[in-house]
Structure formats: structure tokens, C-alpha cells
Structure 1
Amino acid sequence: MTTMVATTRAAAGPADLAKYAALLAKIALFALLLTALIWPDLSGIKGKASTARLVVYPIGALVLPLWWFAYGRAKSKLHKAFPWHADLLLTLPWLIDLLGNRLNLFDTITWWDDAMHFSLWALLTAGALTAFAPRDLSRALTAVVALGFGATAAVIWELGEYVAFVRHSTELQTAYTDTLGDLTLGSLGALLAGLILFQVRRRQALT
């Protein structure tokens, strides 16, 4: 009996850690959003579609919990419990992007924007696939789904940036080249996330 309890607690450990990390990430995100409302000049997103970000970022961080409690909890066959790991992965991109803007990293580190398009799209894609993609997909199908989601999300993001602030900013002259680079990096990040997720799920299935 003692062994069974210890095993249960050990198995629950990673899930609990993901839960607390996801909740802390959401608290940090909403704290940054609140400070952006109170002190817009210090937010780092002033002049960068700040109003749109203040709307989109909370939606992005809450979309999985809202879906789960409205539909997935009763209907989903993918999970028996709320997918905290996926929720954390889907929350981190918004938090990291907002924190990067708050610290002015996008404007002071030349490679930061490129790194973020690659890594944040990897996190976002990993979260979406963890939450919604069947576990028995082949490597090829996982890659296709990852690219489909990641590339589509990247296109939507770039369109949103253009409409929200790029077309009226000094970045317009270099926007075409920058957009092509961002789309490429985002798609590559999504592909890498899909391949890594496939390997992780394969190892889990073998253990």
C-alpha cells in the first residue's frame, strides 16, 4: 500500500509541476498586461499595436482552458484530465513576447526577433499538438500537422502585425524581407516542435 501511494505521488509530480508553472505563467502574463494598461509608456508595446495585444494575448493564454471547460472536459477522448503541459506551452509564447517587449529586447538585440519567431512558434505548435493531435500519428503526419498549424498561425500573425501597425510605421520599407524571414523561422520552429513531440510520445509509448 505504501509503495502504491508513493508511486501515485511520483506519477502526479510532473503534472502538478506543469499545473503550477502554467498558473504562474498566466499570473505573470496578466500582471504585465495590467502594468501595460496603467503605465503604457513603460510597457514596451506602445506603438506596436498595444490595444490589439492587450486583447489577443489573454485570449491566447485562455483559449485551452475555455475550450476544455466548455467542451473538451465532457467530449474529448484525448485526455482524462486537463492538459496542463499543453496549457503551459500555449501560455509561454505570449508571456515571453510581452516580457521581451517590456525589457526592450526586440529593439536592442539584433537577433532577438528572429530567435523569438523560431522558438515561440515551436512552443505554440507543441502546445497545440499536445492538446489536440492524436498520439498515434506517424512521424510524417505529425510533421505535416505541425507545419500546417505553425505556418497558418505565422501567416495570421504577420497579417495582424501589418494591419495593426507595420503599414503605418517606419518598418514598412523592410517589412517584406522581414516577413519572409519571420514566416520561414516560424515554420521551421513548428516543424522542429512536431518532430520533437513525436519522439517524446514514442518514448512514452515504449515505457
Structure 2
Amino acid sequence: MTTMAIPQPRRTNWIRYAAVAVKLLLFALLLAALIWPDLSGIKGKASTARLIVYPVGGMVLPLWWWLRRKDRFPWPADLLMTLPWTIDLLGNRLNLFDTVNWWDDAMHFVLWAFLTAGVLLAFVPRTLSRPVTTFVALGFGTTAAVVWEVGEYVTFVRTSPELQTAYTDTLGDLTLGTLGALLAGLVVARFTTPSSFNV
């Protein structure tokens, strides 16, 4: 006698849908910035560099996965690695960086945490210990924060009114970015590594 399997309701993979939606929003914002640069909020803020770097940042993981032919696409990592570029563009489009005092500081902390967590989930082996994973997060996050601040200085800060307060702002941004990376390292290490003693 054969038993008939009862079909189970398909669970919605909300992370996959969220990752696709965020990526579509990113490219919609980039397209809008190309068509209506005055409304983008990034005019005078290294808009050309952003229009090059942001799509690369949003597509680096899918391209790496496609080239490596991995079996399962890391949707959580893709979502985390796309959110920073999308939120930054959206925040500029809504003029939040210039109208909300705490927005820039919050973004340096939160977006660096997202980006670092995504990079850890996508590229760092799960066999690393918790301390090593945390140090990798600090290494990546701090280096990326320095590269970002240098890029901002070279592309627009040195010729803008922001130059007068750039030193203090840069130190604060580097500190918040590093703390965000540290938080990401601690969280990812806590929930993905097998042991805090196995290297």
C-alpha cells in the first residue's frame, strides 16, 4: 500500500524577495540620478564616482557567485551587501544627510555593519573561530572605512565648504564605521561559527 504525500505549503522566502527588491530600488535610484541629476541629492557629492561604484558594489557578489558556479546563492549576504548603497542613495534623494543632524553618523555605523556582515557571510569560511572572524570583520570594515573617507576627500570634500570640518567629521566617521564593523563581526561570529576555540 502506497501512501500519498501531502503537499506542504510553500514558505515564502522573504529574504530572497527583499534582496531582489532592494537591488531593483538601487538601480532605479541610479537611473533616476542619471536622468534627473539635480533631484538625486548627490550632485556635488562625487556623483560620477557614486554612479560607478554603487552598481559595482551591488553586483560584486552575484558576479562572484556566477563565476564560481556555487550551488546556492547567499541571499542574506546579497541583501546585506546591497542595502548600504541603496540606503545611501535614498537618504541623499530625500535630503536626510543635510536635514537630519544624526543621520550621517547613524549611517556610518549601520551601513558599515550591514556591509561587513554581508562580506563575512559571503566570503569568510565558517570554520574560523569567533575571535578570528571578529578580527577579519575589523580588518575589512576599518580598511573599507578608510578607503571611503579618502575617496570622499579626493572627489569632493577638498573643494567643498565641508573642508573646514572635515578632520573632525572624518575621525567620527572612521570610528563609527569601525564600531559598526565590530558589531557585525561579533554578531556573525556568534551565530555562524561552530566554536569560539576552533581555528
TM-score (norm 1): 0.88
Indicate the residue corresponding to 1:73 in structure 2: 69
Gaps of 5+ in 1: 75-79
Q: Work out the CA distance in 2 between the residues paired with 1:130 and 1:105.
A: 29
- The answer (yes or no) to whether the contact 1:60–1:94 under 8 Å persists in 2 is yes
Aligned residues: 191
**1:6 and 2:1 matched:** no
Higher helix share: 1
Please state how far the C-alpha of 1:98 moved relative to its aligned partner. Answer: 0.3
Indicate the residue corresponding to 2:161 in structure 1: 170
- The answer (yes or no) to whether the contact 2:128–2:193 under 8 Å persists in 1 is no
TM-align CA RMSD: 1.6
Indicate the residue corresponding to 1:44 in structure 2: 41
Percent identity at matched positions?
70
Indicate the residue corresponding to 2:25 in structure 1: 28
**1:135 and 2:117 matched:** no
One-letter amino acid of the structure 2 residue matched with residue 27 of structure 1:
L
Gaps of 5+ in 2: 195-199
- The answer (yes or no) to whether the contact 1:73–1:82 under 8 Å persists in 2 is no
- The answer (yes or no) to whether the contact 2:129–2:193 under 8 Å persists in 1 is no
Q: How does 1:1-207 map to 2 (within 5 A)?
A: 2=5, 6=8, 9-10=10-11, 13=12, 16-70=13-67, 72-73=68-69, 80-201=71-192
Please state how far the C-alpha of 1:139 moved relative to its aligned partner. Answer: 1.6
Indicate the residue corresponding to 1:77 in structure 2: none
Q: Which runs of 4 or more aligned residues in structure 1 lie more than 2 Å from their structure 2 counterparts after TM superposition?
A: none
* Alignment deviations for residues 14-41 of structure 1 (CA, whole Å, 9 cap, x no partner): xx32221111111111111111111111
One-letter amino acid of the structure 2 residue matched with residue 136 of structure 1:
T
One-letter amino acid of the structure 2 residue matched with residue 6 of structure 1:
Q
Q: Work out the CA distance in 1 between the residues paired with 2:64 and 2:16.
A: 17
Q: Work out the CA distance in 1 between the residues paired with 2:54 and 2:36.
A: 17
